Every structure is written in structure tokens, then in C-alpha cells.
Amino acid sequence: MRITAIKPMVLGTPWRNLTFVVLETDEGLSGVGEVRMVNHTDALLGYLEEAGRNHVLGSDPFKIEDLVQRMFRRDYARASEIMASAIAVVEMACWDILGKALGVPVYQLLGGAVRDRIPAYANGWYTVERAPADFHTAAQRVVARGYRALKVDPFGAGFYELSRAEKLRSIALIEAVRDAVGPDNEIFIEMHGRFNPVTAIEMTRELAPLRPGWIEEPVPPENIRALQKVATAVAPLGIPVATGERMHTPYEYRELFELQAADIIQVDLTHYGGISATKKLAAWADAYYMLIAPHNVCGPVGTAAALHLAACTTNFKIQEHFNDFADAWVKDAVAGLPEVDVADGCFPLPQGPGLGVTLNEEFFAEHPREHVFFNLFAEDWQHRQARQNPTHDTRAHD
């Protein structure tokens, strides 16, 4: 079997463009991958055009390790988010083909399931005004949908530090969320790499009485020693530190692991070279007694891939999910994706061969690529809409 075509397609939303990649083969089987490449979709598409010619076309989709190694090494370039994401969409499409060819789910090919249910937490639910009453109502909707955990960034457009008024406002928002969800549900605090260490430590101490389940990316990702400073300071509070969504190679994780500067690894398989690379990283993290809680801002195919990883990974904690609250209609791009069960806030195991989803290519014509710039440091970014007037991008990429 050989790969005969690589076909990217872009699905637009008001704040994120989702890139799907279909690999076709000479035996009629096809596989699909997906990544949300925030603000860098053109770079990804350009890389895929060259990598398709240089590495992918003509390759055996069963020889996944060989194809990934060629894409990673033979361009003679240091791996970046663009390269790692391109490898990921190709790699997960190959796993989809392999599972379909053998008639089994991908997680069966990776060692089999170690759990019957996959816990999930909601993100993208607080597209409201930054007022306690609005956050309270929005959080109640999450619990009513069945989730036992949610994540929130209450800090507005803050960077490095906050004014006293903004500190008090952010605390009030989390107080409202805790009141809405009660004592038995988890609240994860997203910091989006906003803060210097002293501010991250101060805010964690202020929020500690509300018992957050973790603080996420408290400082920018480039300086692991700064992260270690935060982790050391908040450890006596019993609040875990989570990070990893902007780390794209094992070499970036080496120092993090050696310094034990985090407790929970939030690797995003769509930005980290795919399913098998992430499975290897999880095994490495396990040697340090770390859990993984994979980052996932994708639509349905990226979510499906994450569920297969979760099914077969022993130190998995919980799965991020956007698509019940932010652009829920994107789930219609495929058939076959499991839904979060309202009874327990968990996904069931994926069903069907490969990733278990079937792409609806006609759906993409109804939702073409949007011209958006998502800026986490703009005022009212939580509305998750473009700061400029969104328009359809008419460039012929899909």
C-alpha cells in the first residue's frame, strides 16, 4: 500500500481555523488527521505542500515510525511547532489507515484499553462578560451538561503582572465559579503563560482556598527555571502545576522532567508529532510519577485521536474538550465521535476501526476558512471572536 495523495482542508470558525488532512492510498483506504494551528495556518499548509512531495507521497502508511523519522530528520532543520504539527496530522492519518486495514480501533494497536471511561473537562464555556454573575451562570451550564470538571482563565488581558483591581476581579470570578459548581467538581486555573513567577505565585496563594485542581502554564514556556520557581513555591499549598501545550519535542521536555518543575504534562499530540510520539512521552513522564492531561483545542478528529491515546495510557488523568461549548457545530464535520456522557462527565471508548470517525467533506464548503487573529492578550479575548470583522478567506487552500 502506498500514499497517493495528501489533501488538506480548512474548516473556519470565528476564532480558530481547523486544518484537516486526508491521506489517500492506492488501495482505496484513506485516513484523516487534524490540528488547530492558531494564527499559523498558512505556514502549516506551506510546509505540508513541500513535505508531501519530499516525504509523504509514495510512502507506506504502515511504516509510521520510518515516515515520522524521515520528516523529522531529513529536512535538516530544528523541529518547530509547524513541523511537529505537520508530522502529527500525517502520523494520525496513517494510524487511521492502519486501523481500518486491520479492522480494529487505534488504541488496540497501541496496547489495548486500560480504562472503560475517559474523564473530560470543559473549556470554551466562558464566552461571557468578565463579571461574577455571568461566570456563575455559564459554569452552571457546564455542570448541567454533565461535566465534573472545567477550566477557566479569569485574568483578562494580563501580562507579567496585574493591577490590584484586576487581581480582586479575577479572584471574584473564581469565587463565583466555585459557588456555581459546588465543592465536588474540579476547577482548573489557566494562566496562559501570562505571569512572571512572583505574580503567578501570589495569584495561586490567593486562589488556594478555592481548591483549584491545578494551575496551568503559570509563566511563559521558554524558561523552565522560572517554572521551577513557581512549582517549588506552590507545592506546600498542594496545588499541582500543569504545562506542556507549547512544547513540541522530547528535547524541550528533558529539562522539565529533570527539574521536576511540573506535576501534570499537557502535551498536545497534534503539536507534538502525533499519537505514538505522545505515547512515548507519557511513558517517560511516568518515570517521574507525572500524569498527562492532554491539551486539545481541536475539532472532532483531533479529539478522537486524543481519546485513543487516553484509552491506552496508564498515567492519563483527564481530557480537555471544547466542542460542547465553543463552536459545537464543528462536531458535524464527522460521524462516529463519542459524546461526553451527561451521567458521569466521561467519554466512552471510541468505536469502529481506525480513529472511528468518518469525515463529511461536503461540510467544509458550508464553513470555509475565516480570516481571524486570536489574541489571548486582547481585552475581552474570552469571547473567542476575531478582534477585526471576520470574513471568509477566499484563498484556495482547501
Q: What is the pLDDT of residues 265-286, one digit of tens each?
A: 999 999 999 999 999 999 999 9
Q: What is the pLDDT of residues 98-127, one digit of tens each?
A: 999 999 999 999 999 999 999 999 999 999
Q: How far apart are CA 118 and CA 135, in angstroms?
A: 26
pLDDT given at position 117:
98
Cα 262 → chain centroid: 18
pTM across the whole model: 0.95
- Whether residue 392 lies in the annotated active site: no
Q: Is 354 helix (H, G, I), strand (E, B) or coil?
A: strand
Confirm whether 3-105+359-383 and 107-354 share one CATH topology.
no
**With 80 as the cut, is the pLDDT of residue 241 above it?**
yes
**With 70 as the cut, is the pLDDT of residue 143 above it?**
yes
Domain 107-354 fold: TIM Barrel (3.20.20)
Catalytic residue (choose from 192, 248, 321, 367): 192
pLDDT given at position 384:
84
Query: What is the average pLDDT across 317-338?
Result: 96
Domain boundaries, the chain: 3-105+359-383, 107-354
Q: Which CATH class is domain 3-105+359-383?
A: alpha beta
Q: Which grid cell is 240? A: 499541582
Q: Which grid cell is 253? A: 521536555
Phi, psi (degrees; rounded to nearest 5) at 182: 80, 180
* Structural element, H or E, at residue 141: helix 132-144
Catalytic residue (choose from 271, 295, 308, 321): 295
- Whether residue 136 lies in the annotated active site: no
Average model confidence (pLDDT) across the chain: 95
**With 50 as the cut, is the pLDDT of residue 398 above it?**
no
Q: How far apart are CA 247 and CA 281, in angstroms?
A: 11
pLDDT given at position 206:
98
* Structural element, H or E, at residue 388: none
Q: How far is CA 377 from CA 86, 141, 193, in A?
A: 26, 26, 11
Query: What is the average pLDDT across 245-252?
Result: 97
